[in-house]
Amino acid sequence: MGAQVAEQPDFSDADIEFFESKVRPLLVEQCYQCHSSQSETIEGGLRLDSRAAILAGGDTQPAIVPGDPDESLLIDAVEYGDLYEMPPQNKLPDASLAVLREWVQRGAPWPQEELAGGGTHVEAFDLQKRKSEHWAWQPLRNPALPNVVKSSWVKQPLDRFVLAKLEAEGLSPADRAQPHTLLRRAYFDLIGLPPSPKAIAEFAADSSPDAFAHVVDQLLASPQFGERWGRHWLDLMRYAESRGHEFDYDTPNAWQYRDYVIRALNADVPYDQFVTEHIAGDLLDPPRRSSQGADSTKHRNESILATGFWYLGDWIHSPVDTRKDEADRIDNSIDVLSKAFLGLTVSCARCHDHKFDAISQEDYYALAGFLQSSCYRQVRFESLEHNREIASRLDQLQGEYAGRIAKLTSEGLLISADEMEAILQAAQVEFACDSSEPTTQGHPKSKLPMLPETSQLVIDFEDPAAPWYTDGPAYGAGPLRRGQLVLGTEGTSTIAEVVGRGQARLRPDLADLTIPAESQTDPANSSSKEEAHRKNWDQRPGRVLRTPLFELRGGKVYYLLRGAAQVQVVVDSHRLLHGPLHRNTIKTFKNADRWRWVEHDLRAYRGHRVHVEISPNQDHPLEIAMVVEGDIAPQLPAGTTDTKPSQSTLREALRSLVEGTLDEDESHRKIADWILQNPQHWPAASRMKVEQALAEYQQRRQHVLEDLRRASALAPAIWDGDSENEQLLIRGNTRTPGPLVERRLLSAIAGDQQTKITSGSGRLELANRMLDEGNPFPARVMANRIWHHLTGRGIVPSVDNFGVLGQAPTHPELLDNLASRFIEYDWSIKSLVREIMLSQTYQMSSISNSHAAEQDPQNLLLHHMPIRRLQAEAIRDSMLKLAGHLDSQQFGPSVPTYLTKFMNGRGRPAHSGPLDGEGRRTIYISVRRNFLSPFMLTFDTPQPVGPLGRRSVSNVPAQALVLLNDPFVAQQAQRFAKRLIELEGDQRRRIDRLYLEAFARLPEKSEAAAAQDFLVVQAAQHQAIAGKKSVPEEAWTDLCHVIFNVKEFIYLD
């Protein structure tokens, strides 16, 4: 029997994506073992691997009733109802039950599938075949400009592609839009605000052919451009300032990412650099820094701020299964990465090879490895690079003077035997009483016999190859090495110390750091900033040392340290620690001036992969030598053999000091260390020379430290780690791990022979491969997004999905032309925006002729500009501007959301923001996942769950109700009325001003007359005083309120 296409309804892209990302993985993981064509025995005769089979049902009845979950047997079974309990082992989690319910409620969306012999036709996954057959994978080409009949209509190359399609169908483009319509369109498209009366007058007075170009250039240069277009980008990044789920905890300093986006778009940062900064901004050398600003921002590392997007997703604060939670968070990040930059639904390959596109399951886990090799942090982005330079200068200074002082010391003390006798006697007394601290003397550096056999070494700073992960220069540029000289600082009596073993040591001069009040900390187990301070958690950023990833086998971690430490063990990258469930991953060790092993019991996490983050406890010193994992406490490293100073050993030690070989003999090291710490026994002349050199060093050191930036704001960012690959999870289940998958880009883009990544996360390599000239997706996808924002519909309407389930391009040659032009413009977003806006296509009227409307009712050929409803932000911001209460201040912490009395629930903020948001633009109002503004939601502001490049545009009664009844709308109407009343002139002039500000045009005679009549009626209703010439404020408020409810106010022609 031949293959047939199953008859089923046409489902929306959103419904199909919901099925592919939520439902199919759930069915594969939980049901296919017993209910699919691959099952050895199909239990109950029910198959769940095709929609037709589900509707046909098994031995009893159809498994679902589309649109009615309460009448669906499948839902009854998974909810452990009256007839069945499926799956039989364990009931599905509530979240999974909710997914299945929603799927059935939506009508059980399922992509079109071929059926053969009554079963689902499963075609073998052939990546190269899929790649060759689908348009989106084909190389980018810049097609020749098509010939057109009406060439006089063409203003920009893109116009030829649009006109050629129209002429081929016998259609003509619409006339040019009216000047006021075009001006209003440009203002809202570029800055999201209506033009002022002054701007309208200036445009009307400019009769030059470049008048509109001047307006476009002015708006592109406006700082408000980044605020409008930044909001488009934030939709893609699922931007929010809280974590959602049960208690909606803060995402500290997320607004810094928002401000970065606005600045980057205003600066027209090339898009390829913009993408690179997002993927690997922390790895750029040098990073892009602020080119201007006050002292507090001129050192700002802009590049690293972009990486905050990785961590803007929702987080669970106390997951029972941390590994599954990690997989879910990584999945969200991959979804954002692949849709935003590539227009591909890579997350659909989490549980299996993609059902339709040239994306394998291995491709998915290859990308997951980049995140496994990185972790989250709060970065001191205003001082990070600057202070690293300071640390480097200090290290150079230290090296210069260490050699000089070593030479002076040796020269001054290699004296006659008689003169050295006093030093020798003092040394012999000291070493006779010595109870030396432990070292690794006597053991090869590569072998540590004091560790139990069952232990695994996590890190030993004695090893020159030990990785070095710090979130700033507080520990210097690297660990201290055995035998290294550390010169004395102010307030100490010693000349220098000779380091006894490899260690990471906190540098007090570089670790005395502060954060401004506006920066939030990232507290663990803290309910307030005050509690975080008491627990010292707000002291961590810039002072954290982390270990590589390792698996907990024995379940206990041991730290060889001196001083006081605060430790957090990050299990499966989970770090939102509120409540008791994972509290024992944090531990504080009190101060001690001796080396000792301290224990951290983590047996509850055996089998999990973790890394350790170590920071100082308050202002105590901190030195870390080793971290070991196991089930038995290690012994302290072996102590030194007896050191018996003699004339010869003193001289040998001094010679080793000059030669820099003190690490080769522990007795020489200890003698040299004692000599340098006890200058009181030296001959006066020798001591004076060395102390003069030391004083000179200390003075120069202080001069360098004066440039240290101790204060810095914080922002979420990524932190590069060790080279980790992710395991392929069979059926996407963390409990069934498969083989490791090497990190790489999708093989359909970069091939199967990609260079292996051997160090670090490899995210910079990923960015470079993604932006390789052979990859057509980044330029196509972004050019399509720009077109979408300016015309209301992308050339590929499914702007986030260029795959098989997405929609095909209406003008494929135009798309490639725009993408090629984009690259020619050096990836300048503003340049491509300008070209599109100066085209005849963009400047067309929204009024179509009847013939074109009949031939192309969906306007796919773009014979006129579509009418577009303003987005929620533009509606709110316009009201504020007309009310005269729009605050033009840019950047900074978000204004809290105004909370209505109906916005209740766990995690509700303690304080509501003001009704008008302090007059700030909507982009500066806090976005809390569980407490989104009802006004914004009514006008389709998206839930920040995943990437969204195309918002829904609904037309529902709630919108009219909000415009009528929302207190914010009423408040702005009243303020607008007061502004109008304060204007000089008569009533008609005020009505003219009202229309000019609201619609960028003067009223028609009939409109003006209707407005005047309305004022008379409303004045009577408001009981105007007889004989009073002016209309009361309440009547004007009503008129302004009516204007806010006019369709023209919230739509663009």
> In order along the chain (1053 residues), what is the average pLDDT of each group of 10 residues?
53 86 87 81 81 82 88 88 80 90 92 50 79 97 96 97 97 96 98 97 95 98 98 98 93 97 98 98 94 61 98 93 96 98 97 94 98 96 94 94 93 79 81 55 40 90 94 93 91 88 94 90 57 62 96 95 95 87 92 93 96 94 96 76 77 90 89 91 90 95 95 96 94 91 97 94 98 97 98 97 96 98 98 98 95 94 97 98 97 96 92 96 97 96 95 94 97 97 89 97 97 93 63 92 97 95
Question: What pLDDT was estimated at residue 534?
Answer: 47
Q: For residue 456, what is the enclosing H or E element? A: strand 456-460
CB contact set of 645 (below 8 Å; sequence gap of 6+): 424, 427, 428, 431, 671
Strand partners, 469: 546
Q: Which two tokens stand for residue 34?
A: 């017993």
What residue segments make up the domains of the chain, in order of their start? 4-122, 131-174+776-863, 177-222, 269-382+716-770, 385-436+475-500+640-705, 451-462+502-633, 967-1052
Alpha-carbon torsion angle 405, 409, 412, 418, nearest 10: 170
Strand 4-5: give its sheet, edge to edge: 4-5, 114-116, 119-120
pLDDT at site 9: 81
Of the candidates 379, 376, 617, 388, the residue with the CA atom closest to the CA atom of residue 519: 379
- Those residues with Cβ within 8 angstroms of residue 856's Cβ, 6 or more apart along the chain or in another chain: 169, 171, 863
Classified as helix, coil or strand, 345 is coil
CATH of 4-122, one of 2.60.90, 2.60.40, 1.10.760, 1.20.120: 1.10.760
Query: What pLDDT is stored for residue 446 in this prediction?
Result: 33
Residues 577/585, Cβ–Cβ less than 8 Å: yes
The span from the CA of 953 to the CA of 944, in Å, is: 16
- Residues 751, 752, 756: CA angle, nearest 5 degrees: 105
pLDDT of residue 1021: 87
- To which H or E segment does residue 5 belong? strand 4-5
The total number of residues written for the chain in this structure = 1053
Q: Which residues are CB-contacts of 951 (< 8 A; sequence separation ≥ 6)?
A: 235, 871, 940, 941, 942
Looking at residue 537, what is its pLDDT?
65
Q: Which of 298, 355, 400 is nearest to 126 (CA)?
A: 355
Any bridge partners for residue 868, and if so which?
1052
Q: Are 572 and 637 in contact (CB under 8 A)?
A: no
Positive or negative torsion for Cα 986, 987, 988, 992 = positive
Which amino acid appears at position 884 of this protein? Answer: G
Q: Letter for the amino acid at 328?
A: D
Query: Can you give the pLDDT at residue 1028?
Result: 56
SS3 at position 741: strand
Amino acid making up residue 880: L
Pair 229, 258: CB distance under 8 Å: no
Cα dihedral 257, 259, 260, 261 sign: positive
The answer to whether 561 and 598 have CB atoms below 8 angstroms apart is: yes
**Three-state DSSP state, 494:** coil
3-state helix, strand, coil in the chain (%, to 5): 45, 10, 45
3-class DSSP state of 995: helix
The answer to whether 665 touches 482, Cβ cutoff 8 Å, is no
From residue 653, give the alpha-carbon distance in Å to each of 433, 665, 692: 20, 9, 23
Q: Which CATH class is domain 451-462+502-633?
A: mainly beta
Q: Is 111 left (phi over 0), alpha (psi -120 to 50) or beta?
A: beta
